[in-house]
Amino acid sequence: MEPYHFFPLLGVLLAFLFALGSATYFAIRQAEISAINDLLHDLTEIEDLATAYWLGEYETPRKRRAAGHRLRGKLHATTIFYTHYRNLIGSKVGKFEEMDGKLFDLCTGLGFQSQSFKPNPEVAVSIIYCCNEFRDLLRSIRKGIYWVH
């Protein structure tokens, strides 16, 4: 092969490798953003279930118990995210753990799923505040995906 054929082939090969590498990089970043968006959606569902539960919007104890079970199950979403995407959280791991624990304590405290349960609007408001703080944290993590990591 003559030398002047080598350089165009090298250029094509380097362009292909660059395109493959950048496509992979951005696909991974997009998957991470998608995981955060899924958790944001789950957080909205947790907020809806928890506020309905603590405001006493369920007519019968059976419906309230079923809602409590759904809420407890949905709260597991944050733990799964933390387990699989701890490296994505980065330096905000401490804040994430704090918010996760606070949300769990608010949702499942004060007679949650007990016979002595009484609706408590103050707990519902606290849950809404906590969910908003958690969303803010997740949005800051999502914002930093392309620029920090």
What CA–CA distance (Å, rounded) separates 3 from 24? Answer: 32
> What is the tens place of the pLDDT at every residue in 104-130?
999 988 788 888 788 889 999 999 999
pLDDT attached to residue 3: 64
81 CB-contact burial (10 Å; exposed 0-12 / middle 13-18 / buried 19+):
buried
Residue 89 forms part of a structural domain? yes
Residue 28 forms part of a structural domain? no
Residue 24 forms part of a structural domain? no
Task: Report the domain count for the chain.
Answer: 1
Taking phi over 0 as left and psi of -120 to 50 as alpha, with beta for the rest, 128 belongs to: alpha
Range of 54's domain?
Answer: 33-143
Residue 27 forms part of a structural domain? no
88: CB partners within 8 A, 6+ apart: 32, 35, 36, 141, 145, 149
E-strand ranges in 79-119 read none
Question: Which parts of the chain register pLDDT below 70?
Answer: 1-3, 147-149
Contact 42, 56 (CB under 8 A): no
Contact 106, 130 (CB under 8 A): yes
Residue 2 forms part of a structural domain? no
Q: What pTM does this model have?
A: 0.81
Q: Which two tokens stand for residue 128?
A: 């809404």
Residue 73 forms part of a structural domain? yes
Sign, CA dihedral 78-82-85-89, equals: positive
122 CB-contact burial (10 Å; exposed 0-12 / middle 13-18 / buried 19+):
exposed
Q: Which two tokens stand for residue 11?
A: 């250029």
pLDDT attached to residue 97: 93
Residue 134 forms part of a structural domain? yes
Residue 7 forms part of a structural domain? no
50: CB partners within 8 A, 6+ apart: 71, 106, 107, 124, 127
The mean pLDDT of the chain is 87
